[in-house]
Amino acid sequence: MNNSALIHITDLVKTFPMGKREFTALKDINLSFSAGEFSGIVGPSGSGKTTLLNIIGTLDVPTKGDARVIGRSVSDLNSKDAADLRNKHLGFIFQTYNLLQVYTVFENVELPLLLLKIPSEKRREMVLQSLEWVGLTDKIKSRPAQLSGGECQRVSIARAMVKSPQIVLADEPTANLDAKNSHTILQTMENLNRELNTTFIFATHDEKVIQYLRRKISLEDGQVVRDETIKG
C-alpha cells in the first residue's frame, strides 16, 4: 500500500437500512488513488459506484472501514470539517449538471470562490481562466437555460475546476450528452488532468468515458472485481 496516496480506502463497507434488514451496497473495498490519476469506477447500474464516490467526496460516511481523503479520515470529520475539505480540495461534476438557473454562467462558476472568501478581483480572474479552459468565455452572461447540454456540462466542469482542486469527482458526467459533446468534455478534462495534474475519478458505465480512462476499477454488487491500469 502506498502511504503517499491522495485517497486511501481500507476495508470499507457501506450498508443501508432496508426495512428491518440491511442492504450492503459496498463490501470490503480496498483502493488507493494517487495524485494525477485519470481513473474510473466502472460497473452496471446499482453496483455501488455513486455510493463509493459519495464517500470519497465526504458526502456520506462508511459503515465500517475507513476512507482517508487528503490525509483526513472521512469517518472522523464532523459536518463542518467535511464541508471545509470539500470546499478547498474537491470538485464535483454531476450527471444533471446542477447549475443554478437564476444565476449567470459567470456567477455559477464564481460560487465556490465566494465560499473561499477570495477577493472579487482575484475571483474574476479565476472564473475567466476556468471558463477559458472549457471554452466558454463568450457565454459569461448567459443563463443555464440558454445553453445546450454540452455547454452546461462544460460550465459545471469550470465550476469544479475554478479553485484548482486536487480531486474532481465526476458521477456519470456524459449520461445526458450525445457522443460529440461527450468527447469534447472528456478531452477537456483530459487536458486539465495533464496540465494541472488534477486527479479525476469517474463513476460511469459509458464506453465513451471508459476509453479515455487510464485506470479502470470494475465494481460488481459492491465489490471490486478488477483494477486495471491501462497504458495510454
Ligand X SMILES: Nc1ncnc2c1ncn2[C@@H]1O[C@H](COP(=O)(O)OP(=O)(O)O)[C@@H](O)[C@H]1O
Binding site for ligand X (CB under 6 A): 16, 23, 25, 43, 45-51, 203
Q: Which residue has the cell 457501506?
A: 14
Q: Which three cell numbers stand for residue 79?
A: 459536518
3-class DSSP assignment, residue 176:
coil
Choose the one of Mg ion, other proteins, ligand X, none that binds residue 88, judging by a C-beta under 5 to 8 angstroms depending on kind.
other proteins
Residue ranges in 48-67 that form contacts with Mg ion under rule CB under 5 A: 50
Q: Which three cell numbers stand for residue 71?
A: 490525509
Does 92 help bind other proteins (rule: CB under 8 A)? yes
Residues of 182-218 as b/e, b for ≥16 C-beta within 10 angstroms? bbbbbebbbebbeeeebbbbbbbbbeebeebbbbbbb
Binding-site member from 87, 148, 191, 211 for other proteins (CB under 8 A) = 87
Distance of alpha carbon 60 from alpha carbon 14, whole angstroms:
10
* 75 half-sphere exposure, CB direction, 13 A CA radius: 12
How distant, in Å, are the alpha carbons of 29, 126, 171 from that of 180? Answer: 34, 27, 19
CB of 87 to other proteins, least distance (A): 3
Nearer to Mg ion, 50 or 58 (CB): 50
Does 182 help bind other proteins (rule: CB under 8 A)? no
CB of 83 to other proteins, least distance (A): 5
Nearer to ligand X, 49 or 163 (CB): 49
128, 122, 90: which is closest to 106 by C-alpha?
Answer: 128
Choose the one of ligand X, Mg ion, other proteins, none that binds residue 25, judging by a C-beta under 5 to 8 angstroms depending on kind.
ligand X
3-class DSSP assignment, residue 136:
coil
CB of 80 to other proteins, least distance (A): 5
Does 227 help bind other proteins (rule: CB under 8 A)? no
CB of 142 to Mg ion, least distance (A): 29
- Which residue number has the CB closest to Mg ion? 50
Does 121 help bind other proteins (rule: CB under 8 A)? no
How distant, in Å, are the alpha carbons of 170, 185, 202 from that of 208? Answer: 14, 11, 12
User: Using CB under 8 A, which of the segments 18-26, 33-41, 89-97, 220-228 binds other proteins?
Assistant: 89-97
Does 146 help bind other proteins (rule: CB under 8 A)? no
- Tell me which residues touch Mg ion (CB under 5 A): 50
